[in-house]
Structures are given as structure tokens and as C-alpha cells.
């Protein structure tokens, strides 16, 4: 919940900047969403990974 509040507090004043940089933000958003959802989709078990 705190992350939502912080991102809103930072994002709304920077609305013009975000609007002019959507080309750079779009792919970054895609990568972040992929990295957040992929482990859930493949049911990654970090504790089962070999320790090196």
C-alpha cells in the first residue's frame, strides 16, 4: 500500500515528464511485469534450487 502511495505522490507531479517519455517507460514496464509474473506462472521454488 505504501508503494502505491509513493508512486502516486511522485507520479502525478511528474505527469508531463511521464507523458513525454512513454517510449522509454513502456518496454521497462513490460520487463518488470514479466519478471514479477513469470516465477508465479512456472511455480518457481527458490528453496529447491541448488546452492552454489
Residue scoring higher pLDDT (47 or 32): 32
Q: What's the grid cell of residue 16?
A: 508531463
8-12: long-range contacts, CB 8 A cutoff, minimum separation 24: none
Tell me which residue range forms the domain holding 41: 2-48
Write down the pTM of the prediction: 0.52
Per the CB < 8 A criterion, the answer to whether 21 and 28 are in contact is no
Quote the number of domains for the chain: 1
**CA count, 13 A, side-chain hemisphere, 11:** 9
7-46 pLDDT, tens digit per residue, is 899 888 988 988 899 899 899 999 999 999 988 888 777 7
Confidence of residue 49 (pLDDT cuts 50, 70, 90): confident
Amino acid at each position: 500500500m505504501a508503494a502505491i502511495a509513493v508512486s502516486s505522490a511522485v507520479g502525478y507531479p511528474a505527469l508531463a515528464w511521464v507523458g513525454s517519455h512513454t517510449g522509454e517507460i513502456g518496454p521497462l514496464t513490460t520487463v518488470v511485469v514479466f519478471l514479477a509474473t513469470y516465477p508465479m506462472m512456472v511455480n518457481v521454488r527458490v528453496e529447491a534450487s541448488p546452492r552454489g
